[in-house]
Amino acid sequence: MAEKKVILVTGGTGLIGEAIKTIVEREGRKPNEEWVFVSSKEADLANKEQTKALFAKYKPTHVIHLAAMVGGLFRNLKYNLDFLRTNIQINDNVLQTAFEHNVKKVVSCLSTCIFPDKTTYPIDETMIHNGPPHSSNFGYSYAKRLIDVQNRGYHQQHGCHFTAVIPTNVFGPHDNFNLEDGHVLPGLIHKVYESKKNGTPFVIWGTGSPRRQFIYSLDLARLFLWVLREYQEIDPIILSVGEEDEVSIKEAADMVIEAMDFKGEVVMDTTKSDGQFKKTASNAKLMKLNPDFKFTPIKQALKETVDWFVKNYDIARK
Ligand code: NAP
Ligand code: GFB
């Protein structure tokens, strides 16, 4: 009989948490796996006592640690200190409590935006600490980098199997579509929706020239399950589409326009920041370990995301 697993997903009500829930349901929950998805309403993980109470309640054997203060470029520009402090508190509480509860494996979440701004390309997993991150999100970046340091510390001193994944920009259903705080694709989708409704111009921020790799949340969720069940290293692994799938912000906006059949006026607001120009990451390590994995074509993923947003406009985070 396979060992009984209780898998606690912190940040379980967010973009990626909801995607993991969808994939677990689609796959059919394994008989020996109990999945628990929690939000901040059940426990504020920046609070140590509430973190301990959560672990005492569920007694997880495995943790997928997603909970974090998260946001796009413009939220990071405004709150770098809050991103730093809140995420350091959350991460230390979760990892220390996981250690105290003898959790067998923790998979935490970094981001491709935390790599050094001055770097060679493509970026790979060995480069995380090779220089300062882009100034726009230094708070978030240093808190995330510390997870990698903590994972090595818990392994070296206590033999813990704590590892991390490094997703690129994620999008999909249940995203945060808030125009100020959210990421670019949900922001563009929300803006086209309002432009179609009001007959107003669709405004793209910045020059549109920065470049990004976008991964569909449901693809990332399938990769999270593979990492939880198969990936054995403590060192982090980049989870991204290939370098060849990198697009400019303008190209991404054009795909949103196509997916939403928008015919109105398009305007570039170049008074808004471009943020980091590029953070091209290599997925060679992933493809070597999981060569048969297939990504959803971005236009199909965008259409599914747009359809979800239009159908769930009233309840979407915006
Ligand atoms: P999200 O949609 O904003 O969800 C964040 C989740 O964390 C929510 O469930 C939220 O709970 C929870 N949370 C926030 N603060 C908390 C606290 N103090 N205590 C307990 N729970 C808290 O974020 P996401 O996009 O799914 O991101 C999940 C993870 O992926 C994060 O670690 C993020 O850094 C990482 N990541 C995201 C991207 C991206 O493009 N989205 C890219 C790379 C890495 P509530 O719903 O109750 O607020
Ligand atoms: O997803 P995003 O906000 O964050 O993308 P980053 C910002 C890029 O998209 C900039 C352009 O070049 C913006 O000028 N953009 C155009 C827009 N229109 C919009 C819009 O309506 N909304 C937004 N948000 N951007 C984040 C990091 O960097 O990447 C976070 O700051 C996180 O920490 C995330 O890691 C994955 O991709 O620039």
Shortest CA distance to 155 belongs to which of 220, 90, 108, 86? 108
Catalytic residue among 58, 79, 121, 140: 140
Q: How far is the CA of 184 from the centre of ligand 2 (A)?
A: 5
Tokens of 185: 């694709």
Of the bound ligands, which one is closest to the alpha carbon of residue 10? Answer: 1
Confidence bin at 301 (pLDDT 50/70/90) = very high
For the question of whether the overall pTM of this predicted structure is more than 0.95, the answer is yes
> To the nearest whole number, what is the mean pLDDT of the chain?
97
Confidence bin at 2 (pLDDT 50/70/90) = confident
Does the pLDDT of residue 29 top 90, yes or no? no
DSSP for 180-249 reads TTS-HHHHHHHHHHHHHHHT--EEEES-S--EE-EEEHHHHHHHHHHHHHH---SS-EEE---GGG-EEH
Give the model confidence (pLDDT) of 176-199 as tens digits.
999 999 999 999 999 999 999 999
Q: Confirm if 297 and 182 have CB atoms less than 8 A apart.
A: no
Q: What is the pLDDT of residue 225?
A: 97
- Annotated catalytic, 140? yes
Cβ neighbour number for residue 31 with a 10 Å cutoff = 9
Q: What is the CA radius of gyration of the chain?
A: 19
Cβ neighbour number for residue 233 with a 10 Å cutoff = 13
Does the pLDDT of residue 260 top 80, yes or no? yes
Look at the alpha carbons of 281, 65, 146, 273 in this order and tell me if their dihedral is positive or negative.
Answer: positive
Q: What is the pLDDT of residue 294?
A: 98
The CA–CA distances, whole Å, from 83 to 40, 92, 238 equal 16, 14, 22
Q: What is the pLDDT of residue 97?
A: 99
Burial status of residue 164 (CB atoms within 10 A of its CB: 0-12, 13-18, 19 or more): buried
Confidence bin at 203 (pLDDT 50/70/90) = very high
Q: Please name each of the domains of the chain with its CATH number.
A: 5-171+214-242 (3.40.50.720)
Q: How far is the CA of 181 from the centre of ligand 2 (A)?
A: 9
Query: Using CA atoms, how far apart are residues 58 and 42, in angstroms rounded to an integer?
Result: 12
Which residues have C-beta atoms less than 6 Å from ligand 1? 11-17, 39-41, 44-46, 66-70, 90, 109, 111, 167, 169-170, 176, 183
Tell me what the mean pLDDT of segment 17-29 comes to. 95
Give the model confidence (pLDDT) of 211-247 as tens digits.
999 999 999 999 999 999 999 999 999 999 999 999 9
pLDDT-above-70 percentage for the chain: 100
Q: What is the pLDDT of residue 209?
A: 98
Give the model confidence (pLDDT) of 50-102 as tens digits.
999 999 999 999 999 999 999 999 999 999 999 999 999 999 999 999 999 99
Q: How far is the CA of 183 from the centre of ligand 2 (A)?
A: 5
| Length reported for the chain | 318
Is the CB of 60 inside a 6 Å radius of any atom of ligand 2?
no
Tell me what the mean pLDDT of segment 202-212 comes to. 98
Q: How far is the CA of 33 from the centre of ligand 1 (A)?
A: 23
Does the pLDDT of residue 1 top 80, yes or no? no
Tell me what the mean pLDDT of segment 296-315 comes to. 98
Query: Using CA atoms, how far apart are residues 146 and 141, in angstroms rounded to an integer?
Result: 9
Is the CB of 68 inside a 6 Å radius of any atom of ligand 2?
no
Is the CB of 137 inside a 6 Å radius of any atom of ligand 2?
yes
Give the model confidence (pLDDT) of 136-152 as tens digits.
999 999 999 999 999 99
